[in-house]
Amino acid sequence: MVTNTQIPIGYKQIELGVIPDEWDIKRLGDIGKSIIGLTYSPSDVVSYGKLVHRSSNIRDNRLLYDDNVYVKKVFSQKLILKENDILICVRNGSRNLIGKSALIIGKSIGETFGAFMSVFRSDKYQPFIFYLIVSNIVQKQINQSLGATINQITNKTLNDFLIPYPLNPEERIAITTVLSDIDALIEQLKNLIAKKKAIKQGLMHQLLTGKKRLLGFSGKWEVKKLGEIANVIGGGTPSTYNPSYWNGMINWFTPTEIGLNKYTYTSIRKITEEGLANCSARILQKGAILLTTRAGIGDVSILMNEGCTNQGFQSLVANDDESYEFLYYLVSTLKNVLIQNASGSTFLEISPNRIKQIEVKIPNLKEQTAIANILSDMDAEIEKLKQKRDKYQMLKQGVMQQLLTGKIRLL
C-alpha cells in the first residue's frame, strides 16, 4: 500500500493502486455484461456449419482459424459475435489458458463461441476495455479468483473485476491508439518473419537437393549414407537415485530442450564426471548435430558447448571433410524420412543403424560451405527480426501498465 506522503499530486489511492484524480474505479459489470457461450453436444458437430470459437482459437490475443469446430444448431442472437466483442476463455483444464482473450473484428463478426468461453459486451469504447482485460490489472484478478482447485471464472466473478477508468473518453481513445500502434508494429514483424521463413524453406528445398546451384559450382553430387559422412553417437542417463551423479558441470540435454533454436549452448540439468562415467552418454564437442530420435523424432540443433545427451538422441558428428552447418540443414529436411524408418510398439524410435543407412546427396565441402553460409545468413536475419519483435512485445507490456494506470498521461 502506498502511503499518503508517497502519492503524487493529482493522484489518489484506490484498491488497485494509485490513479489520476480524473479517473474512477469501476467494476466490469458496471460498464458492460458477460454472456456465456453456446452449449452443444458431439452430435451437433458437423464438417461444415456455424463456426464455434474455443480457447484453442485464441493465440497471442487474437483469433486464429487452424483448430475449427462447426455445429449445426439453432441458437440465440446474443451468441452471435458482434464487432468489438471481447471473447474470453473462462473455463479450461489448463489453468494458464483461463483469461486469454481476443477482440472481435473482421471476419470473426457473425460467428459464435462455445460454453467454456464468455463474451464481454459493452456500449463503451471496447478496444480500451480489451487492453485492460489482457493487462496485468485484470489477469492478476483472474489468477487470484481461481484459487487452489477452481478452473473457471463465472460471469459474476468476471463482472466483479475492478478496472481503473479514465472518465474522459478522449483519453481512453488516446491510450488505445498508442497500444494499437505498437500491436500493429508487432504484427508487421510477425508477418515479415513468417514471409522470411517461407522464403528460406523454399530456398532450402532447392539448394539442399541440387535443383538450384550457386554460381561457380557444377558437377554431380555424391550419394552417400549418413553413416559415411558422420559418426552417430547415442546418449544415456545416470541413475537418478545417486545424487553424486547430478548437479555437476557437464551439459546433459533432453529432447524437450531441442528444436526451437539452431544453436544450443547450455542444458537445464547437468551431470558430474562420475555420472558420465556410469552411464552410456558420451561427450560431444562443439559442432555436433543433436538429433532427437524418440518421442519427437527429427528435431535438430547444433551444439555450441561441450556436452552430452540422454538416450532420446542419436547425435551426428560430421567428418572433417564435411560441413556440420550444411549437415544441420540437410538433416532438418529429413524429419519425415526419419519417422518412416522408426519403429516401436510403446513409442516410435529410430535406431542408430537405421540412421546410418539413410541415403543423401551431397556436394563437395566447398559447395556445402557456400550453401550453409547463405542459409545461415537468412537465419541470422530472421533472428534479428525475432529479437526486434520481442523488444516491441516487452515495450508494449511496460507501456501498457504505465498507460492503463495513468502513470503516463497522454492528455
As a whole number of angstroms, the distance between CA 110 and CA 80 comes to 5
pLDDT beyond 70 at 2: no
Helix, strand, coil % (nearest 5) of the chain? 40, 25, 35
pLDDT band at 4 (very low <50, low <70, confident <90, very high): low
pLDDT of residue 124: 85
Torsion of the alpha carbons at 309, 315, 317 and 323, rounded to the nearest 10: -120
CB 75 within 8 Å of CB 36:
no
88's enclosing H/E stretch is strand 86-89
Tens digits of residue pLDDT in 92-133: 888 888 999 999 998 889 999 999 999 999 988 899 999 999
Q: Is the pLDDT of residue 341 over 90?
A: yes
The confidence band for 295, taking pLDDT boundaries of 50, 70 and 90, is: confident
**What pLDDT, on the 0 to 100 scale, is given for residue 26?**
95
Once rounded to an integer, what is the mean pLDDT over residues 46-69?
A: 90
Q: What is the pTM of this model?
A: 0.84
| pLDDT score of 350 more than 70 | yes
C-alpha grid cell for residue 143?
489468477
pLDDT tens sequence across 236-281: 999 999 999 999 999 999 999 998 899 999 999 999 999 999 999 9
Look at residue 344 and tell me whether its pLDDT is greater than 90: no
Give the pairing type, strands 307-309 and 112-113: unpaired
Q: What is the pLDDT of residue 74?
A: 84
Q: Is the dihedral of CA 53, 59, 60, 63 positive or negative?
A: negative
Summarize pLDDT for 169-212 with one digit per residue, the tens: 999 999 999 999 999 999 999 999 999 999 999 999 999 999 99
The closest of 260, 211, 31 to 128, measured between CA atoms, is 31
CA 404 to chain CA centroid, nearest Å: 26
Q: Which domains does the chain have, with CATH numbers?
A: 4-165 (3.90.220.20), 222-362 (3.90.220.20)
Residue 5's pLDDT is: 60
What percent of the chain clears pLDDT 90, i.e. is strictly above it? 81
Distance CA 40, CA 45 (A): 8
Q: In this structure, what are the phi and psi dihedrals at residue 263, rounded to the nearest 5 degrees?
A: -110, 140
What is the average pLDDT value for the chain, to the nearest integer?
Answer: 93
pLDDT one-digit tens code per residue, 156-173: 999 999 999 999 999 999
- Residue 355 banded pLDDT, cuts 50, 70, 90: very high
